[in-house]
Amino acid sequence: MEESVLTSLVLPLSLFIIMLGMGLSLVVEDFKRVVVFPKAVAVGLLNQLVLLPLVGLGLAVAFGLSPEMAVGLMIIAACPGGVTSNLITHVSRGDTALSITLTAISGFVTVVTIPLIIVFSLGFFMGEATTVQLPLAQTIGQIVGITVLPVSLGMVLRWRKPALADRLERPARVGSVVVFVVLLIGIIAANIEVLRNHFAELAAVTIGLNVAMMLIGFWSSKMLKLELPQALAISIESGMQNGTLAIVIATSILMQGQMAVPGGIYSLVMFATGGVMMAYFGRRGAASGEPAGADGSAEIAAA
């Protein structure tokens, strides 16, 4: 993908706004739920932070991806969930509170894990041929600036001005998804030839990664005898990653446009599978008369 104003300025700024909107929906209690739902949070974080990169690594090797595409796949596998996963969980009548908790915690933890996974991936797939340098301290600082900082600002705004935050939360959540979709369409339109050249190479592996992680998330939850709303939340969090962040890292931090291609295609895939989840489980819950957020998170479901 070509370096442009879109990738160097618009994308990071849009991600900052999206993460600010996410912060508006978070309170300290979201992090305290790790004590209330320790088993659900633990399996969700294990899937996101450990199994997802490992499955991504295995698929990249199994499919024989080119070094740049393999690193790009690892970037999306290293990213946390985003506001899209929270919205899909909510519409699918999953445990929205758990989804937000997993997104919040993974978002802070991956500030450290993303650079480590990228450094490993560059060495593993590109070896001596790599010309990409990734200073850890600077990269962590950049990721903090476009993720942790805006989320923290949003949380502070909710704490200091709760009424204003309440009014802004729903528009911010919907707006974040709209911004993401518009950006994705813009990136696809600007790089249609690059995507066309690599779609055949990446379609199967991105679908495999997304579907595999959603199934792993669901089955691991059911094995631990978690309720369906929690299993849905963990499944969606395991397979829905922050595609905008992946593209920003590839284009604005690594300055490697081709490495953004897997993130772009993966985003298309996860919108498709997320749509299936919302259509099936949302309709299923509506038919049974079960209210959205029946997991006990009425205050979040109301948003």
* Half-sphere exposure for 28 (CA within 13 Å, toward CB): 3
Low-confidence ranges of the chain (pLDDT < 70): 1-11, 128-136, 173, 177, 180, 183-184, 187, 190-191, 284-303
| pTM as predicted | 0.79
The pLDDT, as a whole number, for residue 175 is 74
Please write the tens of the pLDDT for every residue from 143-164.
Answer: 777 777 888 888 899 888 888 8
pLDDT tens profile 103-132: 888 888 888 899 899 989 988 998 755 556
Domain assignments of the chain as residue spans, ordered by start? 5-282
CATH of domain 5-282: 1.20.1530.20
